[in-house]
């Protein structure tokens, strides 16, 4: 079954409008990164207060490996 001309035009219009929406979001994200995020990162690097944390406070981010197989969870960690 082929698409009718109206249906095809509608799909093309939706594609264009979605692309415009994503472009707008991307441009706004660039402004937010330049105006908000990068200054916060620079402040953090220089030891200034960021997000209400005391001066010199560092973020300690720890990513732990989550074991998917329960039988492996019982095994002792031998990486050390």
Say if 78 falls within a structural domain. Answer: no
Q: What is the pTM of this model?
A: 0.54
> Residue 62 is part of which domain span?
5-73
Query: Residue 56 has what pLDDT?
Result: 66
**What's the chain look like in SS3?**
CCCCHHHHHHHHHHHHHHHHHHHHHHHHHHHHHHHHHHHHHHHHHCCCCCCCCCCCCCCCCCCCCCCCCHHHHCCCCCCC
* 14 within some domain: yes
If one counts the domains in the chain, the total is: 1
- List the pLDDT tens digit at each of the 80 positions of the chain: 566 778 989 999 999 999 999 999 999 999 999 999 999 888 888 888 777 777 766 666 667 877 776 666 666 666 54
Question: What is the pLDDT at residue 45?
Answer: 83
């Amino acid at each position: 079954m082929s698409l009718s001309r109206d249906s095809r035009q509608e799909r093309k219009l939706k594609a264009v409008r979605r692309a415009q929406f994503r472009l707008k979001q991307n441009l706004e994200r660039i402004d937010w990164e330049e105006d908000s995020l990068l200054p916060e990162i620079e402040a953090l690097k220089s030891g200034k207060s960021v997000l209400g944390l005391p001066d010199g406070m560092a973020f300690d981010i720890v990513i732990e490996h989550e074991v998917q197989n329960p039988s492996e969870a019982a095994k002792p960690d031998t990486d050390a």
